[in-house]
Amino acid sequence: MQFRLCWRPRWAWAGCVLTSSLWLCACATPSSAGNGGGGEGGEGGSAGSAGRRYLLGSVSIDADGNRVSYAQIITELGGHFTNANGLEANGNAVFLAQGRHFFYGLAEEPSWVKYDTREGFEEEGRLSFLDYGITYMDFSNVIVDETTAVSVLTEAYVAVVWDPSDMTITGTVDLSHLQKEGFSLEAFTVTEHDGLVYIPGRWANWDTLVVEQTVHLTILDPHALEIVGTAEDRRCGSGGRVTFDADGYAYVMADGRNQSMQTFAAAAGEAVVPNCLLRIAPGEADFEEEFFYEIPQLTGGLDSMTELEAGSVDAGIGFSMMKYEDRIDADLDRLAYEHWDVPAYKMWRIVLGDVPVAEEVQGAHFSVVGFPGSGVDGKLYSSESADGSESTVYELDPDANTARQKFTMDGYFAALLPLER
């Protein structure tokens, strides 16, 4: 089964995969394709940190497009992991962890399930979001502290603040300012920094093939249950997660919703706007007018395909996959996203600051675009895969600017989260 962009409403996403915030749906085209990561259960490996435990999350997709998620506890970052011993959940689940607890966000019902992981998976409680009119747990979630977590429900335009310690809802924050007629809202990669939650806003109309040329950020104080700032810029479009430097500057990179904005504009004969890097000064709540870098300026002509990822939210270093246009056949149907099947994308490091510096990651390979990575202990764990049946997970070192293979696994790599004992 080949994965292409077959546009569907969310209730029809049964055969789709979330790849770097972009849903690819299974079309009836026999072939191999895809990318991502994920896996569970199975054989351990070598070269993990002594005494460490991790939650490994994966998504497996069968030939008919049916998705199953798995969660397992591992102690080594090496070898190969299968799905055999994974805690299974139907659909594309979401994963959170805190201390020794794992939280499973279900795809078939809008609920979080809490597990104690000291002796395997022991269920400790559930929290339903059914009262908010949704049918699945959304993908915009973050744990702030021991008693505070935030789940952004994009279809309900509300941020729900909940307590992971006793699995109760603390309150809500209205996000109706993010509602735009004719567009659906996406806010996949929510970030926490110094007690505040940063919510990126992306708008797209997949029927008319338009991605709005806007970078928007909502800053939320979950303890006060209020919005403390919003930032917006229209020089480029569809910004993702926030990364901070040591001085407290917040950086946001537009990726055009994985270059969809540029693809749609080119097909319509309109000007193609490159992706860009913006920032917010410490204590401020709007983008600096004078800080503006188009990504091709930093890379010698290459534009970004994925949002800015980081091993640590405040390390001042981000990673993004760049698109190598000369590796893509000009005859491919871009509106059908045939170019997503081509290994034409490679990871780059961007050192943030007054003058950002970008360079190709040593040891990175050309691949198709997959699920976002996971930051653990200052390193970014990211995967490469040819068809989604198996993934290779790499450890990206932001200081050394290297990619080193760590382990392989069945399915798509979806999460790597540290667990306490």
d(CA 277, CA 235): 10
**pTM for the whole structure:** 0.88
DSSP label of 49: P
Segments in the chain below pLDDT 50: 1-48
Instruction: Provide the pLDDT for residue 207.
Output: 94
Closest CA to 386 of 340, 325, 336: 340
Neighbours of 47 (CB within 10 A): 12
Question: What are the backbone dihedrals phi and psi of residue 337, each rounded to the nearest 5 degrees, phi first?
Answer: 60, 35
State the maximum Cα–Cα separation within the chain, in Å, rounded to a whole number: 59
Q: Distance between CA atoms of 198 and 57, rounded to whole angstroms?
A: 24
Domains in the chain, CATH or no CATH each: 2-419 (2.130.10.10)
Model confidence pLDDT, tens digit, residues 267-286: 999 999 999 999 999 999 99
pLDDT at 117: 97
Cα–Cα distances in angstroms (integers) from residue 136 to residues 57, 116, 130, 329, 394, in the given order = 18, 23, 9, 38, 30
Q: What pLDDT is recorded for position 56?
A: 98
Cα–Cα distance list, 158 to 128, 151, 175, 194, 235 (Å): 15, 9, 5, 22, 27
> Phi then psi for 260, rounded to 5 degrees?
-65, -40
Over residues 344-377, the pLDDT tens digits come to 999 999 999 999 999 999 999 998 887 899 999 9
Yes or no: say if 331 and 338 are a contact pair by the CB < 8 Å rule.
Answer: no
pLDDT the model gives residue 50: 55
